[in-house]
């Protein structure tokens, strides 16, 4: 239940961001994935959920960006 509240809170934070900020969020998440995969080759990783959470963050940001595009077309 607490995780659901965190996700909803993060979603609201993303909705309050500008388009440029959303692009930055997506770029940072891609960097996290790249860094994790690069570091994984040299040393064992303890937090393997980095990729999963980064992918979800990318999906959330791109979904909000697309919703805004569609809302702009209708309005």
Q: What is the pTM of this model?
A: 0.80
Q: Render pLDDT for 25-40 as a digit per residue (tens, 0 to 9).
A: 999 999 999 999 888 8
Q: Distance (Å, rounded) from C-alpha 41 to C-alpha 38?
A: 6
Q: 45 or 20, which is more confident?
A: 20
pLDDT single digits (tens) 42-60: 888 788 898 999 999 999 9
Predicted local confidence at residue 1, as pLDDT: 47
Q: How confident is the model at residue 16 (pLDDT cuts 50, 70, 90)?
A: very high
Instruction: Give the alpha-carbon dihedral of 71, 58, 52, 39, to 10 degrees.
Output: 180
For residue 11, CA distances in Å to 43, 47, 61 come to 33, 23, 8
Spatial separation of the C-alpha atoms in residues 12 and 58, rounded to whole Å: 15
| Res 46: pLDDT | 80
Coil, strand, or helix at residue 51?
helix
């Amino acid at each position: 239940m607490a995780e659901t509240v965190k996700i909803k809170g993060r979603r609201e934070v993303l909705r309050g961001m500008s388009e440029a900020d959303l692009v930055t969020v997506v770029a940072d998440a891609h960097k996290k994935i790249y860094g994790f995969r690069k570091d994984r080759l040299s040393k064992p990783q303890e937090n393997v959920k980095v990729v999963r959470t980064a992918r979800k963050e990318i999906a959330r940001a791109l979904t909000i960006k697309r919703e805004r595009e569609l809302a702009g077309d209708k309005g």
